Amino acid sequence: MAQHVDFDFTSEAFFRDPQAGVAQLRAVGPAVFTRFPIIGRVWITTTYEAAARVLKDSATFTLRKEGGALVGLPWWMPRVIGTVANNMLTMDEPDHTRLRDIVDEAFRRRAVLDMEPHIRAIADHLAEELFAAGSPADLVQRYARMLPLAVICELLGLPPADRPKFIAWANSLAHLTNAFSFLRLIGGLFKMRRYLQERLQVAREEGGEGLIAELVRVEKEGGRITPDEMVAMMFLLLNAGSETTTHLISGSVFELLKDPARREWLAADWSRTGLAVEEFLRFVSPVQFSKPRYVRHDVDLEGVKLKKGDRVMTMLVAANLDPQANEHPERLDLERRPNRHLSFGTGIHFCLGHQLARIEASCALQALFTRWPGLKLAVEPSQIHWRRRPGIRMIAALPAVAGD
Ligand code: HEM
C-alpha cells in the first residue's frame, strides 16, 4: 500500500491561493496517495504530464469499474442520485461518444460564434441592472451567476421564469462539502430531476425550442438515448454549463478589481480579452480536479506504480501551476503565450462547452468594465471568502460599488 499523504483540500488557504499547497504535494511526487472529501482514498496527480497522461489514456483510466459501477462515490450515493449520474461525463466508450455526438453540433465553434451577439446583449443588460437592487451589489449573485445561467437555459429551451429555481439549487450545491451535507441536498436533487422530466414531457407533447426539443427528436428516431439519459444530459449541461463559468467570471473579475492597472490595460483594447481569458482559465482554475478515474491494470504513471483497482484524480490546478508546463506559473500574465493549461481537461472528455465558456467570460468582462469603469470592491480583498466545496474554486461573494 502506498504511503498516505494528509492534505486539507477544503482549507480557505488552499482555495485563496493554491500555489503553496500544490508545491507541497508536488514535492512528494507526480502522483500522491491521499484522502479526498466524499471520494475517499485516491491518487492525485501533481504535474501537467501526469494529468494529461491520465486524461488521454481513457482505456487504462476509466470512469466506470469493470461491472459498470461509478468510480469514487460512496456505495449508497449512486442509488440516491441514480439516473441523474448517467451522463456522458461518467461514461466510457462507446456510450460516451453515443451521447456526446447528440449535442456536439450545438457547441461547435460556428454555432457558439453565432450566439455571441446575443450573449453580449445579455451581459450588457445584466451590467446595466447591476445596482438596480442597491449598492453594494454582489457581483457573484447578480452578475457572474446570471450570465451563464441565462445562456444555458436558452440553449436548452428552459423558460426564463424558472431560473430562480436553478439559482436556489446551484446555491445549495455550493454547500456540498462532504457526504453528510450531500444527504441534506437530496431533496433539491429530486425536485430538479422531476422538473427536468416534466419539461421533457412538455417538449414531447408540444414541441419546443433548443436542445430539449433536439433530444426529443433524437428519442423519436429511436435507439440512441433513453429517457433517463435525457434527464441526465440536461442535468449535466445545466450544472456544468453554469456553475464552472460562474466561478471563472467571479475569479477573473476579482483579479481585475484587485489591480486597476491590469483592468485599464484590458479596457484600452478589448481585443486582448481572448488572451486574457485564457490566462484567467489557467490562473483561476475554477475546476481544481477532474472526476476520479478507475485504474484498469497495473501501470507506471511518471514513475509512480498504480495498481489495478486504484483510483486517480487529476489535479488540474496543479497541472496549471506546473513550472514544467509554463514559465513562472505563479504570475498572472494576461499576455501569456503559449498558455498550456488543463482547465477544460483533455482527451475524450475535453470540455464540451469550452468555446461557450470562453465567449461568455469575454463578454462578461467587457460588458461589466465598460459600463462601470470605476467599479471597486466594497471590502478589502482579504475579506473575500471561498466556499469550501471540494474540487471547485468558487468565490462566495464579491460586494462591489460603482466607484467614480
Ligand atoms: C467536461 C471544465 C464550462 C459542459 C469538462 C471537464 C472539465 C471542464 C475540466 C472534464 C472533466 C473530466 O474529464 O473529468 C469546465 C470549465 C468551464 C466549463 C473550467 C468554464 C470555465 C462548460 C460549459 C459547458 C460545459 C459552458 C456547456 C454546457 C461540459 C460537459 C462536459 C464537460 C458536457 C463533459 C464532456 C464529456 O464527458 O465528453 N468541463 N467546463 N462546460 N464540460 Fe465543461
Cβ–ligand 1 distance for 72 under 6 Å, the answer no
Distance 200 CA to ligand 1 centre (A): 23
Domains of the chain, with CATH numbers? 12-402 (1.10.630.10)
pLDDT at 72 over 90: no
What pTM, to 2 d.p., does this model score? 0.95
pLDDT at 107 over 90: yes
Distance 354 CA to ligand 1 centre (A): 7
Residue-level pLDDT at 75: 62
pLDDT band per the 50, 70, 90 thresholds, residue 173? low
Residue-level pLDDT at 133: 95
Cβ–ligand 1 distance for 240 under 6 Å, the answer yes
Cβ–ligand 1 distance for 285 under 6 Å, the answer no
Residue 123 in contact with residue 367, Cβ under 8 Å? yes
pLDDT band per the 50, 70, 90 thresholds, residue 184? low
What is the average pLDDT across 116-127?
Answer: 97
CA terminus-to-terminus distance, the chain: 60
Dist CA 37 CA 35 (whole Å): 7
Cβ–ligand 1 distance for 341 under 6 Å, the answer no
Q: What is the DSSP string of 87-103?
A: SGGG--TTHHHHHHHHH
Residue-level pLDDT at 201: 94
Cβ–ligand 1 distance for 345 under 6 Å, the answer yes
Residue-level pLDDT at 189: 78
Pairing of strands 61-62, 40-45: unpaired
Cβ–ligand 1 distance for 123 under 6 Å, the answer no
Cβ–ligand 1 distance for 292 under 6 Å, the answer no
Distance 344 CA to ligand 1 centre (A): 6
Instruction: Name 319's Cβ contacts closer than 8 Å, sequence gap at least 6.
Output: 45, 47, 48, 50, 51, 52, 325, 341, 342
pLDDT band per the 50, 70, 90 thresholds, residue 182? low
pLDDT band per the 50, 70, 90 thresholds, residue 366? very high
Distance 343 CA to ligand 1 centre (A): 9
pLDDT band per the 50, 70, 90 thresholds, residue 188? confident
> What percentage of the chain has pLDDT greater than the value 90?
78
Nearest to 111 by CA among 286, 289, 356, 404: 356
Q: What is the ipTM of this complex?
A: 0.98
What is the rounded average pLDDT for all residues in the chain? 92
Residue-level pLDDT at 169: 75
Minimum CA distance residue for ligand 1 atom 7: 344
Instruction: Name 267's Cβ contacts closer than 8 Å, sequence gap at least 6.
Output: 369, 370, 373
Distance 351 CA to ligand 1 centre (A): 4
**Tens of pLDDT along 252-293?**
999 999 999 999 999 999 999 999 999 999 999 999 999 999
pLDDT band per the 50, 70, 90 thresholds, residue 51? very high
Minimum CA distance residue for ligand 1 atom 18: 244
